[in-house]
Amino acid sequence: MRFDLHSHTTCSDGVLTPAQLVARAAEKGVDVLAITDHDTVAGLADAQRAITAQQLALQLVNGVEISTAWLEFEIHIVGLNINPECPVFLERLASQQQRRYERAEEMARRLEKNKIPDVLSNVLRIADGAALTRTHFARYLVEIGKAPNLNGVFKKYLGRGKTGYVPNNWVALADAVQWILDAGGVPVLAHPLKYNLNGRYLTRLTEAFAAAGGRAIEVASAQITPVQKRQVWDLAKKFGLTASAGSDFHQPTPWNELGKHLYFTDDIVPVWQQWPVFRATQA
Ligand code: AMP
Ligand code: MN
Ligand code: MN
Ligand code: MN
């Protein structure tokens, strides 16, 4: 079975609507897809409706990706199988959205001071109601020719320490893990190699995540090498975590696709090992 447990829609910074995303996932042979938008669950109902209406052979996992603070780092925690109707959880996500909005205002102020015109209104236009992310800023800056592509904008304006970078007061990592547990979900440490932590800090992070109640870590992702996969799985085992797999798909590109390159070797224990959808195929 093909699992892809990390993806984005137009409800945050993806370019496909929830309906387009599930259609593409089914077309690419994904059997189980988690939609994990940034601090929002707004796309899940539409996605499920589209699956039902189009009778797609795809199981949807209700997910989310929460931005958190750990030491001075921004760490992303994915929640899988959360209850998207849990009222407390929705309130908590709303507090993150408020932080996103306030950060966007401050980012816009800083960029406008640096002679970039009308940032906030354009970012709101581009986001069109989605959770406000730095990607929306990046799209605007590409649109007005400040950089040739999104990565260029991050390098020049939005990355840590750059003009438009505003450190945020995200929920603490341990609290976000608890939010996910309270919503009935499984907390997953997302893309552990993307934080540029050295080995010691990565171990400390994984330890803190596991101590807070974290359960799995993303071992398979689009560009990870077999050696890195092994390193992350060794780390997972050390702290009693299972392994997740996710493309972190935002848009079709030559280097990333839904469900692609997410293979596990036989010794890796997947986060879905006990899920009914998987057990049914093993029986
Ligand atoms: P935010 O959560 O608003 O801080 O935005 C983070 C998002 O920006 C990530 O989820 C990525 O989708 C995107 N992002 C971060 N770094 C880059 C980069 N170098 N190039 C393109 N997109 C990036
Ligand atoms: Mn993103
Ligand atoms: Mn992320
Ligand atoms: Mn993501």
251 lines ligand 1 (CB under 6 A): no
pLDDT, residue 76, reads 98
pTM over cut 0.95: yes
pLDDT, residue 281, reads 86
Q: State yes or no: pLDDT of 109 exceeds 90.
A: yes
Residue 74 CA: nearest ligand 1 atom is: 4
Distance CA(240)–CA(106), nearest Å, equals 40
Mean of the pLDDT values across residues 129-153? 98
Six token digits for residue 245: 């797999």
pLDDT tens by residue, 93-103: 999 999 999 99
pLDDT, residue 280, reads 87
pLDDT, residue 62, reads 98
Q: State yes or no: pLDDT of 283 exceeds 80.
A: no
pLDDT tens by residue, 180-229: 999 999 999 999 999 999 999 999 999 999 999 999 999 999 889 999 99
What's the CA dihedral at 142, 145, 148, 151 to 10 degrees? -40
CA distances from 145 to 81, 141, 153, 222 (A): 40, 6, 10, 29
Residue 38 CA: nearest ligand 1 atom is: 2
What b-and-e string marks burial along 238-257, b requiring 16 or more CB atoms within 10 Å of the CB? ebebbbbbbbbbbeeeeebb
pLDDT, residue 112, reads 97
Mean of the pLDDT values across residues 128-154? 98
Question: What whole-number percentage of the chain has pLDDT above 90?
Answer: 96
pLDDT tens by residue, 43-84: 999 999 999 999 999 999 999 999 999 999 999 999 999 999
- The best mutation among 8, 13, 77, 101 to test binding of ligand 1, ranked by most ligand atoms within 8 Å of the C-beta, falls on 13
Cα 163 to averaged position of ligand 4 atoms, centre (Å): 23
Q: Which domains does the chain have, with CATH numbers?
A: 3-84+172-282 (3.20.20.140), 93-158 (1.10.150.650)
Residue 67: closest CA among 22, 164, 5, 132: 132
Query: Could you tell me which residues are beta bridge partners of residue 249?
Result: 7
pLDDT, residue 282, reads 82
* Structural contact between residues 178 and 79, judged by C-beta atoms closer than 8 angstroms: no
Residue 257: closest CA among 57, 28, 15, 80: 28
Q: State yes or no: pLDDT of 234 exceeds 80.
A: yes
Q: State yes or no: pLDDT of 123 exceeds 90.
A: yes
133 lines ligand 1 (CB under 6 A): yes
